[in-house]
Amino acid sequence: MSQRSGTNQNEEIRPESESDEAVLRDLLGWGGLLSTLVQVLDPFYQVDDLLQTDHPLKKSEKPLGSIVRHFGKGSNGEEFLVWWIGGDSSLPVFDSHEGLLDLLPLGLAHRWRASELQAAALAAFIHFEEEWSLEQDRLHHCETGEEVLFSKPLRNEDWEHIRSRLPSESRDQRTGNGHQLDEAIDRVRSYFAPLESPLFGMDTDLLAHYVLEPTPRERTPENVTPIVPLFGKGHLHPAFPSTAKLPAHLRVILHRLVRSQDNNDLVTSLLSTLEAVDFTLRFATGLGQGTIAELTGSEFAGDFNPTTKQMIEDFREVIERLPAHSDDPRVQAVLNLVFQGQRLHPFLQWAGFGGECRLLPWMIEAEDAIRQDNPARSAVLLAEMMEPFNGWISELTLLSSSWDLVTHVRQDGYLQISLGRGEVWLSCKPLIDPTRYSV
């Protein structure tokens, strides 16, 4: 029998101190927590990836690096992880409470093995929490104070397991100060005041009609409780108007566009419009490809940083493929964005997705006008597409108002955007690199 490091490293494992069922439930809790934690830190990362030899994240200061150090090769938690993913037959693996009941009562050999795995998991999580304190919607670095937000909050059962098995005064204190955190969030959120410029059709009266008018394809706002995307908090907040529910980077781009219009700075207006077009096209393409991956149960194909030309072709494929699945609720988000009735959205029609591509030449011309600092040419290019672009931003605003939206930055720097409503949850293919934009 092996000894485990941790708070109880000098104590002999005593299998008689807990019932068989309690030990198995504890193992299930640790395994579920580990799987969920990896998923909310990076939805495209698999828990068994932690066992790579010479893992590239092992020396990383990021949370996944800490998980690799405590559950990966050569760590205290390695044998627990090997068992959890089905690589160790010394104790039958189970993934539900019903499954563990089939193992009861445990034989002596299985009971000792379960106790060893239980101790290994506890020690690994204790060491992890010496670096990163766990909260339901984020991690808190114990030395630097850095916070890393989850793509979605931990499940309630994972959170209860943490609170019962890993007590923490600092975590309890932060939880007790929740009202102060909410006040701080409200204060920072106020810096991103809603756009009210007629440039986007976002004046107060029109916006109120647009958002509050019930339509057959969306729920009424009384039932909409989107997650604030700027913070990725797992708590649901009442909807607030205008672009405030769009991804934060896009909101900053749009605010800069409004300011440049107020200052009659046409070149900066064109730059901001070009960046907004690029961002929204990558978002729509990522949403479409994420939906296809969800429908087919496949992995994302292709580059996360395609050329604009390739991305336009990818979006054409999305537009062609998804209408065949129009009855599937997972397709509604992208179909409602792309189509108005049986026709493409006017902005996509202008862009040429229904025929000859106009968007790519326009983007090339816009880059040239910006490079030459040519306000006259900038004005012509803006006038050409501003009306359909106005409707496109409004449609994105309605989408973000009708779906819970969570945004976080992946470890590779790309934005991970996820949408959820009811029983449907979609992860967009991460195509957006924030460093592309002057935000």
Q: What is the pLDDT along the chain (439 residues), one digit of tens a residue?
A: 333 333 343 333 343 457 889 999 999 999 999 998 988 887 667 788 888 888 778 888 888 889 999 999 989 899 999 999 998 889 999 988 888 898 898 888 898 999 999 999 999 999 999 999 888 888 888 888 888 877 778 888 888 888 888 877 555 554 444 444 444 434 333 333 333 333 333 333 433 333 333 223 233 333 322 222 222 222 222 222 344 578 888 888 888 888 887 788 888 889 999 999 999 999 999 999 999 988 988 877 666 778 888 989 999 999 999 888 888 889 999 999 999 888 999 999 999 998 888 999 999 999 999 988 888 888 889 888 888 898 899 899 889 888 888 888 888 888 889 888 888 888 899 899 888 887 6
- Phi and psi torsions of 347, nearest 5°: -65, -40
pLDDT of residue 208: 37
pLDDT of residue 17: 55
> In this structure, what token pair is assigned to residue 286?
């990522």
pLDDT of residue 91: 92
pLDDT of residue 13: 37
pLDDT of residue 206: 34
pLDDT of residue 166: 85
Model confidence, pTM = 0.49
